[in-house]
Amino acid sequence: MPSALEQLKAFTTVVADTGDFERMRQFLPQDATTNPSLILKAAQQSNYQALVDQVKAAHPGMKTAELVDYILVAFGLEILKIVPGRVSTEVDARLSFDTAGTIAKGKHLISLYESHGIKRERILIKLAGTWEGIEAAKALETEGIHCNMTLLFSLVQAAACGAANAKLISPFVGRITDWFKVKLGSQWSDASHTGANDPGVLSVKRIYQYYKHFGIKTEIMGASFRNTSQILELAGCDLLTISPELLAELQKSDQLVSRKLLEKSESSAEIAMLKLDESSFRLELNNDAMATEKLAEGIRNFCIDTEKLESLLS
Protein backbone atom coordinates (compact mmCIF):
# COMPACT_ATOMS: atom_id res chain seq x y z
CA MET A 1 0.00 0.00 0.00
CA PRO A 2 1.37 3.47 -0.82
CA SER A 3 2.39 5.68 2.10
CA ALA A 4 0.16 8.45 3.37
CA LEU A 5 2.57 10.90 1.75
CA GLU A 6 2.20 9.27 -1.68
CA GLN A 7 -1.58 9.18 -1.29
CA LEU A 8 -1.63 12.86 -0.30
CA LYS A 9 0.32 13.76 -3.45
CA ALA A 10 -2.60 12.40 -5.51
CA PHE A 11 -4.82 15.22 -4.17
CA THR A 12 -2.42 18.02 -3.27
CA THR A 13 0.93 19.47 -4.36
CA VAL A 14 3.36 18.72 -1.53
CA VAL A 15 5.91 21.39 -0.65
CA ALA A 16 8.88 21.09 1.73
CA ASP A 17 8.96 23.75 4.45
CA THR A 18 12.66 23.94 5.32
CA GLY A 19 16.02 25.51 4.55
CA ASP A 20 17.71 22.14 5.11
CA PHE A 21 17.85 21.25 1.42
CA GLU A 22 19.83 18.05 1.93
CA ARG A 23 17.07 16.61 4.06
CA MET A 24 14.28 17.38 1.60
CA ARG A 25 15.69 15.12 -1.12
CA GLN A 26 14.07 11.96 0.26
CA PHE A 27 10.54 13.39 0.09
CA LEU A 28 10.58 14.48 -3.58
CA PRO A 29 8.52 17.68 -3.04
CA GLN A 30 7.37 19.78 -5.99
CA ASP A 31 8.26 23.13 -4.37
CA ALA A 32 9.98 24.39 -1.24
CA THR A 33 9.42 27.28 1.14
CA THR A 34 11.87 29.09 3.38
CA ASN A 35 11.68 31.91 5.90
CA PRO A 36 14.26 33.74 8.07
CA SER A 37 13.78 31.28 10.95
CA LEU A 38 14.34 28.23 8.72
CA ILE A 39 17.40 29.74 7.02
CA LEU A 40 18.86 30.73 10.40
CA LYS A 41 18.39 27.16 11.62
CA ALA A 42 20.04 25.72 8.52
CA ALA A 43 22.89 28.25 8.46
CA GLN A 44 23.86 27.18 12.00
CA GLN A 45 24.35 23.56 10.91
CA SER A 46 27.93 22.47 10.28
CA ASN A 47 27.10 20.85 6.94
CA TYR A 48 26.09 24.26 5.53
CA GLN A 49 29.03 26.22 6.92
CA ALA A 50 30.92 25.92 3.63
CA LEU A 51 28.00 27.50 1.74
CA VAL A 52 27.79 30.38 4.21
CA ASP A 53 31.57 30.91 4.09
CA GLN A 54 31.50 30.86 0.29
CA VAL A 55 28.89 33.62 0.16
CA LYS A 56 30.79 35.73 2.68
CA ALA A 57 34.06 35.28 0.79
CA ALA A 58 32.41 36.32 -2.47
CA HIS A 59 31.24 39.62 -0.94
CA PRO A 60 34.02 40.93 1.34
CA GLY A 61 33.16 44.05 3.28
CA MET A 62 29.46 43.87 2.48
CA LYS A 63 27.13 45.02 5.26
CA THR A 64 25.48 42.09 6.99
CA ALA A 65 21.98 43.44 6.27
CA GLU A 66 22.79 43.23 2.55
CA LEU A 67 24.63 39.91 2.89
CA VAL A 68 21.47 38.26 4.24
CA ASP A 69 19.85 38.56 0.79
CA TYR A 70 22.77 36.70 -0.78
CA ILE A 71 22.54 33.96 1.86
CA LEU A 72 18.80 33.56 1.26
CA VAL A 73 19.36 33.29 -2.48
CA ALA A 74 22.30 30.89 -2.04
CA PHE A 75 20.07 28.48 -0.14
CA GLY A 76 17.31 29.05 -2.70
CA LEU A 77 19.66 28.17 -5.56
CA GLU A 78 20.63 24.90 -3.89
CA ILE A 79 16.98 24.07 -3.26
CA LEU A 80 16.14 24.68 -6.93
CA LYS A 81 18.65 21.97 -7.86
CA ILE A 82 16.44 19.53 -5.95
CA VAL A 83 12.84 20.61 -6.52
CA PRO A 84 11.41 20.76 -10.05
CA GLY A 85 9.14 23.68 -9.18
CA ARG A 86 9.50 26.86 -7.17
CA VAL A 87 11.23 28.14 -4.07
CA SER A 88 9.81 30.84 -1.79
CA THR A 89 12.26 33.45 -0.49
CA GLU A 90 11.12 35.95 2.13
CA VAL A 91 11.52 39.71 2.13
CA ASP A 92 12.99 41.22 5.30
CA ALA A 93 10.13 41.25 7.84
CA ARG A 94 11.25 44.70 8.98
CA LEU A 95 9.73 45.98 5.71
CA SER A 96 6.28 44.58 6.54
CA PHE A 97 4.80 48.08 6.79
CA ASP A 98 6.84 49.64 3.97
CA THR A 99 5.29 49.12 0.54
CA ALA A 100 8.02 50.87 -1.47
CA GLY A 101 10.77 49.12 0.50
CA THR A 102 9.11 45.74 0.00
CA ILE A 103 8.79 46.29 -3.75
CA ALA A 104 12.45 47.27 -4.00
CA LYS A 105 13.57 44.27 -1.96
CA GLY A 106 11.42 41.89 -4.01
CA LYS A 107 12.94 43.20 -7.24
CA HIS A 108 16.43 42.89 -5.76
CA LEU A 109 15.92 39.26 -4.77
CA ILE A 110 14.58 38.44 -8.23
CA SER A 111 17.59 40.15 -9.83
CA LEU A 112 19.94 38.00 -7.73
CA TYR A 113 18.22 34.82 -8.89
CA GLU A 114 18.16 36.00 -12.51
CA SER A 115 21.90 36.76 -12.34
CA HIS A 116 22.32 33.01 -11.81
CA GLY A 117 20.14 32.16 -14.80
CA ILE A 118 17.01 31.35 -12.78
CA LYS A 119 13.75 32.44 -14.40
CA ARG A 120 11.45 34.47 -12.19
CA GLU A 121 8.65 31.92 -12.73
CA ARG A 122 10.54 29.59 -10.36
CA ILE A 123 10.65 32.13 -7.53
CA LEU A 124 7.94 33.18 -5.10
CA ILE A 125 8.72 36.31 -3.11
CA LYS A 126 7.25 35.92 0.38
CA LEU A 127 5.55 38.98 1.83
CA ALA A 128 3.70 39.50 5.10
CA GLY A 129 -0.10 39.70 4.82
CA THR A 130 -0.21 43.33 5.93
CA TRP A 131 -1.97 46.01 3.87
CA GLU A 132 1.44 47.29 2.80
CA GLY A 133 2.60 43.80 1.85
CA ILE A 134 -0.54 43.18 -0.19
CA GLU A 135 -0.14 46.50 -2.01
CA ALA A 136 3.46 45.54 -2.78
CA ALA A 137 2.30 42.18 -4.14
CA LYS A 138 -0.19 43.94 -6.42
CA ALA A 139 2.63 46.01 -7.91
CA LEU A 140 5.14 43.14 -8.18
CA GLU A 141 2.65 40.80 -9.84
CA THR A 142 2.16 43.31 -12.68
CA GLU A 143 5.87 42.87 -13.46
CA GLY A 144 5.73 39.09 -13.44
CA ILE A 145 7.26 38.81 -9.98
CA HIS A 146 5.07 36.26 -8.22
CA CYS A 147 4.33 36.55 -4.52
CA ASN A 148 3.62 34.14 -1.68
CA MET A 149 1.59 35.96 0.97
CA THR A 150 2.58 34.64 4.38
CA LEU A 151 1.60 35.21 8.01
CA LEU A 152 -1.99 34.88 6.86
CA PHE A 153 -4.53 34.11 9.58
CA SER A 154 -7.88 35.37 8.34
CA LEU A 155 -10.37 35.46 5.49
CA VAL A 156 -10.03 39.25 5.25
CA GLN A 157 -6.30 38.90 4.51
CA ALA A 158 -7.00 36.12 2.00
CA ALA A 159 -9.72 38.15 0.26
CA ALA A 160 -7.43 41.17 -0.09
CA CYS A 161 -4.62 38.99 -1.46
CA GLY A 162 -6.99 37.48 -4.01
CA ALA A 163 -8.16 40.93 -5.09
CA ALA A 164 -4.49 41.92 -5.53
CA ASN A 165 -3.93 38.91 -7.82
CA ALA A 166 -1.21 37.49 -5.59
CA LYS A 167 0.07 34.22 -7.00
CA LEU A 168 -0.22 32.27 -3.75
CA ILE A 169 -1.25 32.60 -0.12
CA SER A 170 0.02 30.59 2.85
CA PRO A 171 -2.75 30.47 5.48
CA PHE A 172 -1.29 29.26 8.77
CA VAL A 173 -2.92 26.34 10.55
CA GLY A 174 -0.93 25.44 13.64
CA ARG A 175 -0.49 28.98 14.94
CA ILE A 176 -4.25 29.56 14.74
CA THR A 177 -4.86 26.36 16.69
CA ASP A 178 -2.21 27.38 19.24
CA TRP A 179 -4.05 30.67 19.86
CA PHE A 180 -7.44 29.07 20.37
CA LYS A 181 -5.98 26.40 22.64
CA VAL A 182 -4.58 29.10 24.92
CA LYS A 183 -7.70 31.25 24.65
CA LEU A 184 -10.09 28.43 25.53
CA GLY A 185 -7.90 27.10 28.33
CA SER A 186 -9.81 24.48 30.32
CA GLN A 187 -12.65 24.63 27.78
CA TRP A 188 -10.37 23.22 25.09
CA SER A 189 -11.19 19.61 24.28
CA ASP A 190 -9.17 17.43 21.93
CA ALA A 191 -12.35 15.51 21.21
CA SER A 192 -14.21 18.57 19.95
CA HIS A 193 -11.40 20.86 18.72
CA THR A 194 -9.18 18.56 16.65
CA GLY A 195 -9.51 16.71 13.36
CA ALA A 196 -12.14 18.28 11.10
CA ASN A 197 -13.03 20.74 13.91
CA ASP A 198 -9.48 22.02 14.37
CA PRO A 199 -9.68 25.88 14.33
CA GLY A 200 -6.72 26.18 11.96
CA VAL A 201 -8.15 23.58 9.59
CA LEU A 202 -11.54 25.31 9.61
CA SER A 203 -9.89 28.64 8.75
CA VAL A 204 -8.19 27.20 5.64
CA LYS A 205 -11.39 25.42 4.58
CA ARG A 206 -13.27 28.71 4.77
CA ILE A 207 -10.66 30.45 2.62
CA TYR A 208 -10.65 27.56 0.15
CA GLN A 209 -14.44 27.68 -0.30
CA TYR A 210 -14.35 31.49 -0.65
CA TYR A 211 -11.73 31.33 -3.40
CA LYS A 212 -13.37 28.51 -5.31
CA HIS A 213 -16.84 30.08 -5.02
CA PHE A 214 -15.69 33.35 -6.58
CA GLY A 215 -13.24 31.81 -9.04
CA ILE A 216 -10.19 33.46 -7.48
CA LYS A 217 -7.07 32.11 -9.17
CA THR A 218 -4.67 32.73 -6.28
CA GLU A 219 -3.24 29.39 -5.11
CA ILE A 220 -3.86 28.27 -1.53
CA MET A 221 -1.01 26.59 0.34
CA GLY A 222 -1.79 25.47 3.88
CA ALA A 223 1.19 26.03 6.20
CA SER A 224 2.39 25.89 9.80
CA PHE A 225 1.26 22.41 10.80
CA ARG A 226 1.55 20.91 14.25
CA ASN A 227 0.61 17.33 13.38
CA THR A 228 -0.26 15.07 10.45
CA SER A 229 -3.98 15.14 11.32
CA GLN A 230 -4.13 18.82 10.36
CA ILE A 231 -2.41 18.02 7.08
CA LEU A 232 -4.66 15.13 6.12
CA GLU A 233 -7.79 17.11 6.96
CA LEU A 234 -6.72 19.53 4.22
CA ALA A 235 -6.09 16.89 1.54
CA GLY A 236 -7.28 18.48 -1.68
CA CYS A 237 -5.95 21.95 -0.87
CA ASP A 238 -4.00 23.38 -3.83
CA LEU A 239 -0.69 22.97 -2.00
CA LEU A 240 0.49 22.09 1.51
CA THR A 241 3.93 23.08 2.81
CA ILE A 242 5.15 20.59 5.39
CA SER A 243 8.19 20.33 7.66
CA PRO A 244 10.66 17.45 7.15
CA GLU A 245 9.61 15.96 10.50
CA LEU A 246 5.96 15.69 9.46
CA LEU A 247 6.89 14.60 5.92
CA ALA A 248 8.81 11.72 7.50
CA GLU A 249 5.78 10.74 9.59
CA LEU A 250 3.57 10.71 6.51
CA GLN A 251 6.16 8.70 4.60
CA LYS A 252 6.21 6.03 7.31
CA SER A 253 2.42 5.90 7.69
CA ASP A 254 0.10 3.63 5.70
CA GLN A 255 -3.03 5.48 6.87
CA LEU A 256 -5.74 5.73 4.23
CA VAL A 257 -5.95 9.27 2.84
CA SER A 258 -9.08 10.68 1.21
CA ARG A 259 -9.80 14.05 -0.37
CA LYS A 260 -11.33 16.41 2.20
CA LEU A 261 -11.55 19.72 0.32
CA LEU A 262 -13.95 19.95 -2.60
CA GLU A 263 -14.38 22.96 -4.88
CA LYS A 264 -18.14 22.98 -4.39
CA SER A 265 -19.85 22.58 -1.02
CA GLU A 266 -23.38 22.94 0.29
CA SER A 267 -22.40 26.10 2.19
CA SER A 268 -21.04 27.90 -0.90
CA ALA A 269 -24.34 29.68 -1.59
CA GLU A 270 -24.03 31.49 1.75
CA ILE A 271 -20.64 33.07 0.97
CA ALA A 272 -20.58 36.87 0.54
CA MET A 273 -17.77 38.66 -1.27
CA LEU A 274 -15.63 41.00 0.82
CA LYS A 275 -15.03 44.35 -0.89
CA LEU A 276 -12.11 45.93 0.88
CA ASP A 277 -10.24 49.20 0.79
CA GLU A 278 -7.45 50.11 3.19
CA SER A 279 -9.80 51.41 5.88
CA SER A 280 -12.17 48.42 5.86
CA PHE A 281 -9.26 45.96 5.68
CA ARG A 282 -7.60 47.46 8.73
CA LEU A 283 -10.89 47.55 10.66
CA GLU A 284 -11.81 43.94 9.81
CA LEU A 285 -8.32 42.71 10.70
CA ASN A 286 -8.33 44.75 13.92
CA ASN A 287 -11.63 43.16 14.93
CA ASP A 288 -10.14 39.69 14.59
CA ALA A 289 -8.10 39.40 17.78
CA MET A 290 -6.48 36.10 16.81
CA ALA A 291 -5.35 37.28 13.37
CA THR A 292 -4.12 40.62 14.72
CA GLU A 293 -2.11 39.04 17.52
CA LYS A 294 -0.62 36.22 15.43
CA LEU A 295 0.31 38.55 12.55
CA ALA A 296 2.09 40.92 14.92
CA GLU A 297 3.81 38.06 16.73
CA GLY A 298 4.91 36.47 13.46
CA ILE A 299 6.45 39.70 12.17
CA ARG A 300 8.26 40.26 15.48
CA ASN A 301 9.71 36.74 15.49
CA PHE A 302 10.87 36.94 11.87
CA CYS A 303 12.52 40.29 12.65
CA ILE A 304 14.32 38.74 15.62
CA ASP A 305 15.57 35.79 13.55
CA THR A 306 16.71 38.08 10.74
CA GLU A 307 18.76 40.04 13.28
CA LYS A 308 20.16 36.75 14.64
CA LEU A 309 21.13 35.75 11.10
CA GLU A 310 22.90 39.09 10.65
CA SER A 311 24.78 38.51 13.90
CA LEU A 312 25.76 35.03 12.75
CA LEU A 313 27.12 36.43 9.49
CA SER A 314 29.08 39.17 11.25
- pLDDT, tens only, 273-310: 999 999 999 999 999 999 999 999 999 999 999 999 99
The whole-number average pLDDT for the span 78-85 is: 97
Q: Parse the chain into domains and list their residue ranges.
A: 4-313
* Confidence band of 266 (pLDDT split at 50, 70, 90): low
The pLDDT of residue 141 is above 90: yes
pLDDT averaged over every residue in the chain: 95
* 126 included as an active-site residue: yes
pLDDT number for residue 314: 86
pLDDT number for residue 267: 59
pLDDT number for residue 287: 98
**Integer Cα distance of 96 and 157 in angstroms:** 14
Is 206 in contact with 154 (CB distance < 8 Å)? no
Q: How many CB atoms lie within 10 A of CB 166?
A: 29
The whole-number average pLDDT for the span 88-112 is: 98
Write out pLDDT tens, residues 19-54. Answer: 999 999 999 999 999 999 999 999 999 999 999 999
Does 4-313 carry CATH code 3.20.20.70?
Answer: yes
For the ranges 41-50, 89-98, 208-217, which has the lowest average pLDDT?
A: 41-50
* Confidence band of 268 (pLDDT split at 50, 70, 90): low
Catalytic, out of 9, 105, 126, 294: 126
Question: Is the whole-model pTM more than 0.85?
Answer: yes
Q: Give percent of the chain with pLDDT exceeding 90.
A: 93
The whole-number average pLDDT for the span 161-184 is: 98
The whole-number average pLDDT for the span 75-95 is: 97
